[in-house]
Amino acid sequence: MRPFHHSTRAWGPYTGTLRKLIHRFKFSGHRRLAHPLACLLEEAYRKRPNPFTPSCLVPVPSHPRRLRKRGFDQTLLLTRTLGRRLNLPLFRGLRRSRPTLPQSGLDLKARRRNVRNAFRLRQARRLRGEDLVLVDDILTTGATVREICKVLKRDGRAGRILVLTVARVTLPGETPGAAASLPPIGSASLRRRPGD
């Protein structure tokens, strides 16, 4: 199955302290963690030479129903903070057009079915030929970002897309940091314990 994005980067594996920080941020409403987590995103972005200069950042959107339950949009907050650090604007025209089940607990086929046709674009013409960075907190199987990148390419005629996440789940059979299609992941120490 061909990828719709150019490359994928994550700061580190979704384990240990990093996993706890993301959980506090995402599920316990610790919004102040947006800054240290965005610093990790920036480090992952700058760690390797970029094959292109993006024109904007695109946050992976949540459905309004989930936003009401959580109280805030964690990916939008992360992306805004990162945008200020990289001096890049946000594109807010990507929408989740229908509610989906949480991806956790679903196998790869179910994940792909779950997000199929779940995203749509507004102001698609703004993306024509533009290189983008798609931002999310966690990458697991890549089903969600693949579906989004397909929409960005098909409907927006976007150029190259870099998928940038704070953490990457190590799948069964993978060595942490050695997943196919993922460059070596973050080397900086979590001893800084951002936000603690």
pLDDT at 178: 41
The whole-angstrom separation of Cα 90 and Cα 61 is 12
Q: How crowded is the C-beta side of 106, counted as CA atoms within 13 Å? A: 18
User: What pLDDT score was predicted for residue 60?
Assistant: 94
Helices (runs of H) and strands (runs of E) counted in the chain: 6, 6
pTM (2 d.p.): 0.83
Predicted pLDDT of residue 140: 87
> How much is the pLDDT for 153?
93
pLDDT tens, position by position, for the chain (196 residues)?
Answer: 455 667 899 999 999 999 999 999 988 889 999 999 999 999 999 998 888 899 999 999 987 777 777 778 999 999 999 999 999 999 999 998 877 777 777 777 887 887 888 899 999 999 999 999 999 999 988 888 999 999 999 998 999 999 999 999 987 766 655 433 343 323 333 333 333 2
Is 60 in contact with 145 (CB distance < 8 Å)?
yes
User: What is the per-residue pLDDT for 176?
Assistant: 57
Owner of token pair 């980067």: 9
Sign of the dihedral defined by the CA atoms of residues 187, 133, 61, 195, in that order: positive
Residue 48 is predicted with a pLDDT of 87
Q: State the pLDDT at residue 5.
A: 64
Structural domains in the chain, CATH included, are: 7-178 (3.40.50)
Distance CA 119, CA 137 (A): 18
